[in-house]
Structure 1
Amino acid sequence: METLPTGISVLDREFGGGLPSGSVVVLKADPASQSELIVDRFSRPRECRYLTTVRSADAVEASLALGGAEAGDDGESDGERGDSEGGAGETVVEETDREAPLDDVLATAAELSDGATLVVDSVEPLEASDRSRYGSFLTDLRRHVADAGGIAVLHAFKGETGRNRVVTEQVADVVFDLRTTVTGTEIANRLIVPKFRGGAALEEPLKLKLTDTVSVDTSRDIA
């Protein structure tokens, strides 16, 4: 099984090079967090089809353009990393049909190039579907991603989620749980990986700095 870089080098080091090809990944986060920065990084190492279900395609493209030259977690720019993370590929952003988002996502997944990334941002409108149909959708999505040897990233917001969220997490191969806490002195972001099918989940949270870039937070926690 080939390993594909995530676009975040500290994760790639933890996971022995990246994520297994064919994986369906769920990134859970608070709606008011900076989780879009992580999704941005996932979209960069390879060719990517980026499907937006809520925001406009123009808004997503503008956001991706702003992050195009940002530094990675090890302080190297995208240009400096070059082929060390598999080489950057083209990202095509499209809006899903609000009336038939499941069909749109499956049609795009069926057209994925070898080793490409599919991003769905965000998954809530899909989870609003009938449970039986949504389960079949996830099964078909996994099959298309496995056939392409790529990765699917489902951006999932916490809060008032429907009953299909448990189905999303059950079917997913990898679950990233971004937890953002606010105190009187700091905003702390910790990435937890409780599920990693085909690999080893992280034994402890990874503290991240999410400003306009993604980096490792090396500051010490003070009780």
Structure 2
Amino acid sequence: MSTAIPALDRNFGGGLPSGSLVYIRADVEAMAEVFLYQFTQARKTYYFANERKPKHIYNDIRNLGFDTSHIIFMDLHSEYHLTPGGDAVNNLGDELQDSKIVEYTEYSIKKIMEEQEEDINIVIDSFSFFLNLNINPGLLKRFIYTIYETTKNLNCLTFLYGIKGLNKGGMETEILNSSDVIFDIELKKSGQIINKYLSIPKIRRKHPMNEMIKFKIENGIKMDTSQDIA
């Protein structure tokens, strides 16, 4: 299935294997969310937004010149961070509210599965949000299982966005183990030079990349095609 990033699609014979759960581990400074935005260009996308209001993400996608007509935003941000009247609320560490937002998201994903749509993406921005909630680990494991089974049943692509250094506990290791594909995104500084790199160390049913590849953000993701993608 196409990623809408031509260099990646060429390397992997048309894209990522259908039915893949993709975990993106990214340095926070690397603006790796632009990968998510570009993935939406390949097909209809259910975009779960919990860190920011959907309207802000929508504007960022539009500012890159991307089409937003086939993106359906699922507003977890307002569900968790705002009162019905629109006022900000502090739910930090509230186990009841934390459990509710997981169950609400799980319910929404199950509803998508019931629709049995073909050729869709599911994006969760960010998954680190869930890894840091004050919830029973069993609830999080069930949530991961629901995401995985939905991805397989719909034969779709699901992208989970994880931010390096933000995830507490050992649950990130569990999602890394479950994931079919891992994107690792790094930012490196050398003097006055800043470079961004992508590696894909794990991809089931395909050969993983053996080297990091440099990319830049310029009206989307632009891979450095002057080097081979091994």
| Structure 1 residues 8 and 209: alpha-carbon distance in aligned structure 2, compared to 1, 3 A threshold | same
Q: What are the residue-to-residue correspondences of 1:1-223 with 2, within 5 Å?
A: 4-69=1-66, 90-96=70-76, 97-98=79-80, 99=97, 100-110=100-110, 111-112=112-113, 113-128=117-132, 129-163=135-169, 164-217=171-224
Return the letter of the residue paired with 1:94: M
Q: What RMSD, in angstroms, separates the aligned Cα atoms of the two structures?
A: 1.9
Return the letter of the residue paired with 1:58: K
Structure 1 position 219, deviation (Å) = 6.6
Return the letter of the residue paired with 1:95: D
Return the letter of the residue paired with 2:125: D
Return the letter of the residue paired with 1:168: I
Between structures 1 and 2, the one with greater helix share: 2
User: Number of residue pairs matched?
Assistant: 200
Q: Identity of paired residues, percent?
A: 23
Structure 1 position 108, deviation (Å) = 3.1
Return the letter of the residue paired with 2:195: A
Give the secondary structure class of the aligned counterpart of 2:107: helix
Aligned mates of 1:106, 1:89 — CA distance in 2: 25
Aligned mates of 1:101, 1:91 — CA distance in 2: 21
**Structure 2: tracts of 5 or more residues without a match:** 81-96
**Structure 1: tracts of 5 or more residues without a match:** 70-77, 79-87
User: Per-residue displacement from partner, 1:17-49 (whole Å, max 9, x unpaired)?
Assistant: 111111110111112221111111111110000
Structure 1 position 104, deviation (Å) = 3.2
> Comparing 8-17 with 102-111, which one deviates more in the overlay?
102-111
Structure 1 position 177, deviation (Å) = 0.2
Give the secondary structure class of the aligned counterpart of 2:118: coil
Give the secondary structure class of the aligned counterpart of 2:65: coil
| Structure 1 residues 28 and 20: alpha-carbon distance in aligned structure 2, compared to 1, 3 A threshold | same
Structure 1 position 212, deviation (Å) = 4.1
Aligned mates of 1:12, 1:189 — CA distance in 2: 19
User: Per-residue displacement from partner, 1:141-200 (whole Å, max 9, x unpaired)?
Assistant: 111111111111001000141121111111111000001111223211110111111211
Aligned mates of 1:130, 1:33 — CA distance in 2: 31
Aligned mates of 2:8, 2:201 — CA distance in 1: 14
Aligned mates of 1:14, 1:104 — CA distance in 2: 37
Aligned mates of 1:13, 1:95 — CA distance in 2: 34
Aligned mates of 1:43, 1:5 — CA distance in 2: 10
Structure 1 position 139, deviation (Å) = 1.1
Return the letter of the residue paired with 1:127: L
Conserved 8 A contact 1:28-1:175: yes
Match of 1:82 in 2: none
| Structure 1 residues 5 and 184: alpha-carbon distance in aligned structure 2, compared to 1, 3 A threshold | same
